[in-house]
Structure 1
Amino acid sequence: MKKINFSAGPAILPASVITQAAAAVENLDGSGLSVLEISHRSDAFDAVLQEAEALIRELMNVGDEYGVLFLSGGASTQFFYTAMNLLNPEETAGFLDTGAWSAKAIKETKLFGKVDIIASSEAANYNYIPRDYSVPEGLKYVHLTSNNTIFGTQFRDFPETDAPLVADMSSDIFSRRIPLEKFGIIYAGAQKNLGPAGVTLVIVRKDLLGTVQRPLPSMLDYRVQIKGGSTFNTPPVYPIYVMMLTLRWIKEQGGLEAMEKHNERKAKLLYDEIDRNPRFEGTVANEYSRSLMNVTFTCTDDADTDAFLAAAEAAGCDGITGHRSVGGFRASIYNSMPYEGVETLVNVMKNFK
């Protein structure tokens, strides 16, 4: 039986994408070569890069003022990459501290400049998204993590500020429409909504670059990567290929508007059951903060935890164990999770005795 992958990442992929990606490992588009062995300088891979970038620009309405990059190192590399490229030592970056990943980004940013933590939910173990705060003037940029996989929280809207936003969107990019004009840099590890682990998407506003006084290593300079078309060195060819297939799939589903409706419908089904069923309770403090991507909950009686996990696994639900810092359960319902997959989990909850 094919399991239903509720893992937080690497995460579920569309079945059609897995089929196409598997075929390309054997033979890429009739070329006689595996996608694993084609040159990153070949016409075949250049076509993949060009289509992937074109789909990103089309789906998110990304204009020429932004560069689109396919890099390595995950979001964790972008924690310092962004600060190194944008922040001088005497300048300040504002941060909205909403979880483990934003805390790590804060630590890395302090290596290159000053940090002002505008708001934080750390005191409540990050179980909500702060709302009552004001953004001070004079910041170089404001950083946020749009969705927090561990804690099941998500920004439903974004702060008003004259400074550009820098966002880690690893776990909710392409899941909904966003006001791109607010953002200076968006970065995202692919392994939630875009493909397998190994490639990081970066969308960067070009006019923000070239303002730091420090010399930058070539590999860590966005300008060099933009000029090199993401091929300054050998890029992660196969993950980029699978990302391209996934972007095709998103477009075929109807784009970001369709993804947003799909994700809202799935999340409502699961949250409604958590709110209705006395055997379960959510771990997020308020409805405004609830993530559409990672639904976190516990059994109201801790003694039920192991039995419910066993019941869910028997129904084919894999990867629902919560993060150790929160406990309980976490159902990750990214773009590729079908509605029927969430129905299966909800039925286990309804029938749990």
Structure 2
Amino acid sequence: MGTHGVISTRKRNRRWEARTTVRTASGEYVRKYASGGSKTEAVNLLLERVQDAAPLTDLNRRSSIQSLGEQWRLNMLTKGLAPRTVDRYEWTLEKHINHYIGRLTIEELTTSRAQSFLVMLQDKHGAGVAKGARTVLLQMFTMAVQDDIVQRNPVQDTTLRRADRKEVESFTAEQIPTLRKNLNGDVLDVFDVMLGTGLRISEVLAIRWEDIDFSQNRLQVTGAVKRTKREGLHRGAPKSLGSMQWLYLPDFSMHPLRERERWCELVFPTSTGGLWEPTNFRKQWRKQLAGTAYASAHPHMVRSTVATILAQSEGTLAASKQLGHSSESITAKHYIARPDEAPNLSQILNRLL
């Protein structure tokens, strides 16, 4: 299927005609015809027309995994994935899959070889890299199954060791005043907005004046500052649809917003009015906290702090809604710090005896 028979040519009325028979993907035999000013032109035009009946892929079991990866990559680019997801997948494909196993043929990647590869990645590069590589390989070989290159997906039955869960880090209410004393200027203003909203750095740096409702002390999350390989530094959509919401701000967060000078559309621009890249914000953060008790603290801890404080006072559901998460479980697992001690329930237990 997808191939054509012998191409016949003839000259008729001062033009050349080319004909052949093609077997389509459905198995039907179809006559194809083209004409041109010369024999070569007619044949080339005919060959273009028979491409419609070509097989979905020219790969086979002896093709390399690198070739399969390239076919999968081109297919992935048509799926409408987020640009940062595309960047991450392409990096995983080139940096790890092609580097370590790209020269193997498709049929040579058995389940045991795939398992050994993933174990090596986890030992050498960490659980996150191994998980990403498994995701890409799984998609690549799912495509190979769909194209009848292989009968089953060898990655399907692979497993990864359970990674040690990292404790959620956050600031205590007592630490916040002393932390603020070590911050100044724009970094302090961004910190105060993050602390009053739980927003990501990228979302705060994307706030425009038109996003703020000063009459009701609230702002609308409409974008995030991102950098991708294809688009460079730009203002894109927030990480999730749940993030696109109105948030009411406490007075300490509204204060810097009211005091800042409005000289361009962004609330927190660079000195030239451009987008302030989150990476550069983190550099300023580390510079201001260097040599202090908070030198190892990272800005994302502010988001965890908001989640932890809200969960303790209003419950996990309230914290989840504030952070724009799709479920409480995400908030509880990744953003709420575990208390050092259990609540004092001794008086209730005293009733047992």
TM range (shorter): under 0.3
If asked which structure has higher relative contact order (CA below 8 Å, sep 6+), I would say 1
For the pair shown, the structure with the greater C-alpha radius of gyration is: 2
Q: What TM-score results when the alignment is normalised by the length of structure 1? A: 0.24
Higher helix share: 2
Q: What TM-score results when the alignment is normalised by the length of structure 2? A: 0.24
